[in-house]
């Protein structure tokens, strides 16, 4: 029979052995980063559409996202993304988003912010003075508004906005869903620091879709299977950094983990090494933050 002293001695040896074991480490390398001006930003950037109920799918999913994503949950997920190695958040400029950003920062958050102009800022450019106080790494003209201006022959307004961003002392970019917009900006030699490029041309009008695809238009937004190849071909032609988004067609290609990995792999292998990807995350049913970080690390390591 073991004595109490023998039992305690064995327990102490076991504890010492456990303590001596090397810590479990991530077998993958650290999150890859890219250089953007004076910043080192992670190859994977967390987006914001799910935070505010922009599913680009249907009103029911919008409502679910808005109910799930209280401010507490939004800040929690931002902190989770930072712990996982992501160091940049892309978000549109609006009163609720600014409140979230200030709270996240006040609670010790260190991520950088990439801003997309929309709402009041699109109408009142004097707000850029307030935007500058947030120290964004860039301010981009909203993609839907860009595509609308392009269609209407009003790209001069988009250009004037980017000049106003520069005048306010910040890097300027143009977001888009239509590759032809980038071709236009490049052809006209616009002074920009970056583009924000959607892999799907969701802004096609019904008339444009019918003309392009033989007389028939899909319902609501347009997600065509060859759109990512069309946009990435344009991304590779510019020397400017492209922040690439909607890798998964707003949730249309996330039926299983293999589909998610395939979408990441296509994007990362078809854009330039300097280009980051932006991914919105809604970790209600699975740990999307960890999964997305793991995929980006894995695929980036394959290319190294």
Model pLDDT, residue 220:
83
Q: For residue 108, what are the CA distances in angstroms to 79, 181, 225, 297?
A: 9, 38, 41, 25
Beta bridge partners of 40: 35
Structure tokens at 57: 């799918």
Beta-carbon neighbour count of residue 283 at 10 Å? 18
Q: Is the pLDDT of residue 15 over 50?
A: no
10 Å Cβ neighbour count for 234?
19
What is the band of 26 on the pLDDT scale with cuts at 50, 70, 90?
low
Q: What is the pLDDT of residues 62-86, one digit of tens each?
A: 999 999 999 999 999 999 999 999 9
- Cβ atoms of 195 and 243 within 8 Å: the answer is yes
Indicate the DSSP class of residue 254. Answer: -
Q: How far is CA 124 from CA 110, 120, 255, in A?
A: 29, 6, 41
Tokens of 7: 């039992």
Look at residue 62 and give its three-state secondary structure.
helix
Q: Which of 198, 220, 234, 243 is nearest to 44 (CA)?
A: 243
Per DSSP (E only), the strands in the chain are: 33-36, 39-42, 44-46, 88-92, 112-117, 138-141, 172-176, 194-198, 241-245, 277-279
Confidence of residue 303 (pLDDT cuts 50, 70, 90): confident
The domain spans of the chain are 36-303
CB 203 within 8 Å of CB 147 = yes
Average pLDDT value over all residues in the chain = 91
Structure tokens at 6: 């023998």
- Do 107 and 141 meet the contact criterion of CB atoms below 8 Å apart? no
Whether the per-residue pLDDT at 18 is higher than 60: the answer is no
39 pairs with which residues across the strands?
Answer: 36
Please give the class, per CATH, of domain 36-303: alpha beta
The pLDDT, as a whole number, for residue 100 is 97
* Higher per-residue confidence, 17 vs 296: 296
Tokens of 92: 């549109």
Whose tokens are 């990512």? That residue is 228
Tens of pLDDT, residues 145-164: 999 999 999 999 999 999 99
C-alpha to C-alpha distances, 215 to 166, 170, 203, 210, 218, nearest whole angstrom = 43, 44, 17, 4, 10
Q: Where are the alpha helices (DSSP H) in 47-167?
A: 59-68, 71-83, 95-106, 120-123, 128-132, 143-152, 155-167
Rounded mean pLDDT of 38-63? 95
Q: Which residue has the higher pLDDT, 30 or 234?
A: 234
Asked which of 21-25, 225-229, 280-284 is least confident by mean pLDDT, the reply is 21-25
pLDDT tens for 197-240 read 999 999 999 999 999 998 888 888 889 999 999 999 999 999 99
Please tell me what DSSP assigns to residue 120: H
Q: Which residues of 50-60 are buried (b: 16+ CB within 10 A; e: fewer)?
A: bbbbbbbeeee
């Amino acid at each position: 029979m073991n004595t109490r002293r023998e039992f305690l001695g064995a327990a102490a040896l076991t504890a010492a052995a456990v303590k001596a074991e090397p810590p479990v480490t991530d077998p993958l390398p650290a999150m890859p980063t890219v250089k953007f001006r004076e910043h080192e930003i992670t190859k994977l950037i967390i987006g914001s559409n799910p935070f505010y109920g922009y599913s680009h799918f249907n009103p029911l999913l919008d409502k679910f996202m808005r109910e799930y994503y209280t401010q507490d949950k939004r800040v929690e997920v931002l902190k989770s993304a930072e712990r996982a190695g992501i160091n940049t958040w892309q978000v549109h400029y609006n009163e609720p988003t600014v409140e979230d950003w200030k709270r996240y920062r006040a609670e010790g958050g260190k991520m950088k912010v990439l801003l997309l102009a929309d709402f009041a800022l699109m109408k009142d450019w004097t707000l850029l003075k307030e935007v500058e106080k947030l120290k964004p790494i860039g301010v981009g003209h909203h993609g839907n508004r860009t595509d609308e201006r392009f269609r209407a022959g009003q790209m001069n307004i988009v250009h004037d906005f980017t000049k106003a961003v520069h005048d306010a002392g910040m890097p300027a970019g143009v977001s888009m869903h239509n590759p032809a917009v980038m071709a236009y900006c490049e052809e006209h030699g616009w002074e920009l620091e970056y583009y924000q490029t959607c892999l799907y041309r969701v802004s096609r009008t019904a008339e444009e879709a019918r003309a392009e695809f033989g007389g028939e238009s899909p319902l609501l937004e347009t997600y065509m299977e060859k759109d990512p190849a069309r946009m990435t071909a344009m991304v590779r032609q510019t020397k400017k950094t492209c922040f690439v988004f909607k890798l998964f067609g707003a949730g249309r290609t996330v039926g299983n983990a293999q589909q998610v990995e395939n979408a990441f792999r296509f994007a990362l292998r078809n854009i330039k090494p300097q280009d980051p990807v932006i991914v919105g995350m809604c970790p209600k049913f699975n740990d999307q933050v960890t999964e997305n970080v793991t995929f980006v690390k894995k695929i980036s390591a394959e290319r190294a």
